[in-house]
Amino acid sequence: MDILNEVLNKIKPSEEDKEYIYKKIEQVLEKLNGLDVQIHGSFRKGTWLKGDTDVDIFVFFPKSLGKKYVENEAVKLLLEKLKGLDITIAYAEHPYIIVNLDGIEIDVVPAIKINKGEEPITAVDRTPFHTEFINSHLTEKQKDDVRLLKRFMKGIGVYGAEIKIKGFSGYITELLITYYGSFVNTLKNASKWKPPVKIELVKPQRNFQCPLIIVDPVDPRRNAAAAVSLKRLAEFSIASKYFLERPSIDFFFPKNPENGKIKGDILITIIRLKDKVVEDLLWGQIYKSIEKIRNSLENTGYKIIDIQAYGNSDKVIIATQLESRNIGKYYINRGPLFYMDVDGFIKKNENIWIGEDGRLYSIKERKNGNIEDVIKNNISIKYNYSIEQYWLDKEPEENCLKQFLVKTPSWLK
């Protein structure tokens, strides 16, 4: 397929790219001399994309030192060793260090050294076995197929296992190509997926309840695809179907969204973070807040079209789209069937009548019709922040909000 060759020419790194990154890695390795160091990530596996390098340097410590040592003392040791470089502390399950060398980011990650088959102490302890499995199961041609699958998933917006995205990790793309054999064959199968989708490279040692189940061949007790939401699975499945029917480079490199006509009433809530935040913790709190906002608005009587959140560690935008911001002062309160316990309903309500369906009903006054306050009161973020709100009455400048309005992605048109 000509399109795939065109995409691959754009995303496959050259030997010069590889040599340049190795030189940057060597600068970090020199600083870490004397420690148990290994290179991992997509760079080591040969599945990285040009201009989007994923280099992980793991520093392993004995199991006897324990998790607390990795979280505290190991990080202090690495910071001391890397002194003089452009470094930033980042956080996942435990702290790690990002080294920036002329635009190349290298993650230096402390971990516990375990034997194959042992229970990991931290989430990253399995990494050497993941690298070994992928390098021993994928051909060079299949590694190019992984590159195509990664770019395809990035293009349609489903790539990334972090809480903010709830999508497909790089390791999952590698396992999909391992299982299905090629990029095209992966899409052919994905276009027919019906959840729960089960992919067993090895026999599972647990029962998993998720939309997508890919048993980790390194640890059969783990579902490697646990982060993938039903929404992301559905988006990937539909995109796979439409790409096979009408291939286009837009799937890999989508166009900017067109201006869309505003439908419904949209309230924009901008949350500006004042603290340094851990992204996964922040987005976990954002999604919980959205669920509370949704429930409160529905309980108040508003009909919701959609609620979405966008942003980063500095600013988060919550866009709430309603059928209408104008609703009546009163609403119909649906009660129990006549043969159930109706005493409590009758005592608490006025203007009661029995409907054609045999239920009791009443008319109630809405307690809180102020949408702005409903949203503000249901944002639960454990960081310092400020809030701005406005109703969207013209085409937005931000691409994320254009996507929210237009909704239909460019590749689906």
Burial of 127 (0-12, 13-18, 19+ CB in 10 A): buried
CA gap 105, 97 in Å, rounded? 10
240 known ligand binder: no
Q: Which residues face 99 on adjacent strands?
A: 87, 106
96 known ligand binder: no
22 known ligand binder: no
Place of tokens 């406005």: 390
Distance of CA 250 to the CA centre of its chain: 21
Q: 269 phi and psi, to 5 degrees? A: -115, 115
CA gap 216, 225 in Å, rounded? 8
Cβ contacts of 339-345, under 8 Å, gap ≥ 24: none
The CA-atom distances, in angstroms, between 395 and each of 175, 212, 320, 392 are: 41, 37, 15, 8
265 known ligand binder: no
| Closest listed residue to residue 134, CA positions, set 96, 169, 95 | 169
94 known ligand binder: no
150 known ligand binder: yes
CB 229 within 8 A of CB 166: yes
| Closest listed residue to residue 249, CA positions, set 50, 52, 10, 12 | 10
107 known ligand binder: yes
54 known ligand binder: yes
Can you say which residues are annotated as belonging to the binding site for ATP?
42, 45, 130, 150, 159
Can you say which residues are annotated as belonging to the binding site for CTP?
42, 45, 130, 150, 159
Can you say which residues are annotated as belonging to the binding site for Mg(2+)?
54, 56, 107
Can you say which residues are annotated as belonging to the binding site?
42, 45, 54, 56, 107, 130, 150, 159
